[in-house]
Chain A
Amino acid sequence: MSREPILRLEGVSKTFGGLKALTDVSFSLDEGEVVGLIGPNGAGKTTLVNVVTGNLRRSSGRVLFESEDVGTQKPYEAARRGLARTFQIVQPFPAMTVLENVTAGALFGGGADSLADARDKARESLEFVGLAGFADRPAANLALAARKRLELAKSLAMNPKVLMLDEVNAGLNSSEIDGALNLIRQIADRGVTVLIIEHLMKVVLSLSKRLLVLHHGQLIADGPSAEIVADERVVEAYLGQKFAARLKEMHHG
Chain B
Amino acid sequence: MKPLAQYAAIIVGLVLLGTTPLYADNYILRTAATVAMYGALATSWNFIGGFTGYPSFSTAAFFGLGAYVGTICQRNGIPMGVAWTIATVSVAAFAALLGGIILRLRGHYFAIGSIAIVELCRLIVSSWSDLTGGGDGLNVPLIHASPDAVTRLFLFVMLGILAASLVVTIIVDRSRLGFGLRCIHQNEDAAAMVGINTTAYKIAAYTLSAVFCATVGAAYASWTGYIDPTDSFQIVMTVKVAVMAILGGAGTVVGPALGAAAFVLLEEVFWANFIDWNRAILGVVIVLLIFFLPGGLLSLRARLRRASGGAA
* Residues in chain A within 8 A of chain B (CB atoms): 53, 55, 74-76, 79-80, 84-85, 87, 91-96, 103-105, 107-110, 115, 154, 158
Taking the closest CB of chain B, its distance from the CB of A120, in whole angstroms, is 15
B184: nearest chain-A partner, CB-CB: A93
Most buried by A among B183, B192, B194, B198: B194
- Ordered by A's residue number, 16 sampled pairs between the chains whose C-beta atoms are within 8 Å are A55-B189, A75-B193, A79-B195, A87-B190, A93-B183, A93-B186, A93-B187, A96-B183, A103-B179, A104-B191, A105-B195, A108-B195, A108-B196, A109-B194, A110-B195, A154-B194
Q: How far is the CA of A231 from the CA of B183 in the complex (A)?
A: 45
Most buried by A among B174, B187, B193: B193
Given A76-B196, A80-B195, A154-B194, 15 other A-B contacts at CB below 8 A? A53-B193, A55-B189, A74-B192, A76-B197, A79-B193, A84-B193, A85-B193, A87-B190, A91-B189, A91-B190, A93-B183, A94-B186, A104-B183, A104-B196, A158-B194
Q: How far is the CA of A93 from the CA of B224 in the complex (A)?
A: 46
B186 touches A96 (CB 8 A): yes
A53: nearest chain-B partner, CB-CB: B193
Taking the closest CB of chain A, its distance from the CB of B170, in whole angstroms, is 15
Taking the closest CB of chain B, its distance from the CB of A80, in whole angstroms, is 5
Q: Using Cβ atoms and an 8 Å threshold, which residues of chain A touch B192?
A: 74-76, 79
Taking the closest CB of chain B, its distance from the CB of A2, in whole angstroms, is 30
Taking the closest CB of chain A, its distance from the CB of B41, in whole angstroms, is 26
- Tell yes or no: B180 within 8 A of A by CB: yes
Taking the closest CB of chain B, its distance from the CB of A23, in whole angstroms, is 26
- Tell yes or no: B176 within 8 A of A by CB: yes
Check A91/B195 contact, CB under 8 A, given A107-B176, A115-B179.
Answer: no
Contact of A92 among B182, B187, B198 (CB under 8 A): B187
Q: Using Cβ atoms and an 8 Å threshold, which residues of chain A touch B180?
A: 104, 108
A96: nearest chain-B partner, CB-CB: B186
Check A104/B194 contact, CB under 8 A, given A96-B182, A115-B176.
Answer: yes
Taking the closest CB of chain A, its distance from the CB of B74, in whole angstroms, is 43
Q: Using Cβ atoms and an 8 Å threshold, which residues of chain B touch A92?
A: 187, 190
B187 touches A104 (CB 8 A): no
Q: Using Cβ atoms and an 8 Å threshold, which residues of chain A touch B183?
A: 93, 96, 104, 108
A95 touches B195 (CB 8 A): no
B180: nearest chain-A partner, CB-CB: A108
Contact of B187 among A53, A85, A94, A115 (CB under 8 A): A94
Q: How far is the CA of A246 from the CA of B189 in the complex (A)?
A: 41
- Binding site of B, secondary structure by majority: helix, strand, loop or mixed? helix
Q: How far is the CA of A96 from the CA of B191 in the complex (A)?
A: 12
A111: nearest chain-B partner, CB-CB: B195
Q: Which 3 A-B pairs have the closest CB atoms?
A: A109-B195, A79-B195, A93-B186
* Residues in chain B within 8 A of chain A (CB atoms): 174, 176, 179-180, 182-183, 186-187, 189-198
Q: How far is the CA of A75 from the CA of B197 in the complex (A)?
A: 9
Q: How far is the CA of A130 from the CA of B47 in the complex (A)?
A: 35
Taking the closest CB of chain B, its distance from the CB of A200, in whole angstroms, is 24
B179 touches A91 (CB 8 A): no
Q: Using Cβ atoms and an 8 Å threshold, which residues of chain A touch B197?
A: 74, 76
Most buried by A among B180, B182, B189, B196: B196
Contact of A107 among B174, B179, B198 (CB under 8 A): B179
Q: Using Cβ atoms and an 8 Å threshold, which residues of chain B touch A154?
A: 194
Taking the closest CB of chain A, its distance from the CB of B267, in whole angstroms, is 32
Taking the closest CB of chain B, its distance from the CB of A30, in whole angstroms, is 24
A80: nearest chain-B partner, CB-CB: B195
Q: How far is the CA of A92 from the CA of B195 in the complex (A)?
A: 14
A91 touches B196 (CB 8 A): no
Q: Using Cβ atoms and an 8 Å threshold, which residues of chain B touch A74?
A: 192, 197
Q: How far is the CA of A79 from the CA of B180 in the complex (A)?
A: 14
Taking the closest CB of chain B, its distance from the CB of A98, in whole angstroms, is 13
Most buried by B among A74, A76, A115, A158: A76
Q: Using Cβ atoms and an 8 Å threshold, which residues of chain A touch B187?
A: 91-94
Contact of A91 among B174, B182, B193 (CB under 8 A): B193
Taking the closest CB of chain B, its distance from the CB of A213, in whole angstroms, is 26
Q: Using Cβ atoms and an 8 Å threshold, which residues of chain B touch A104?
A: 179-180, 183, 191, 194, 196
B186 touches A158 (CB 8 A): no
Q: How far is the CA of A115 from the CA of B179 in the complex (A)?
A: 9
Q: How far is the CA of A76 from the CA of B179 in the complex (A)?
A: 15
Q: How far is the CA of A87 from the CA of B192 in the complex (A)?
A: 13
Q: How far is the CA of A76 from the CA of B198 in the complex (A)?
A: 8
Contact of B190 among A84, A93, A103, A115 (CB under 8 A): A93
Q: Using Cβ atoms and an 8 Å threshold, which residues of chain B touch A107?
A: 176, 179
Q: Using Cβ atoms and an 8 Å threshold, which residues of chain A touch B176?
A: 107-108, 115
Q: How far is the CA of A95 from the CA of B184 in the complex (A)?
A: 12
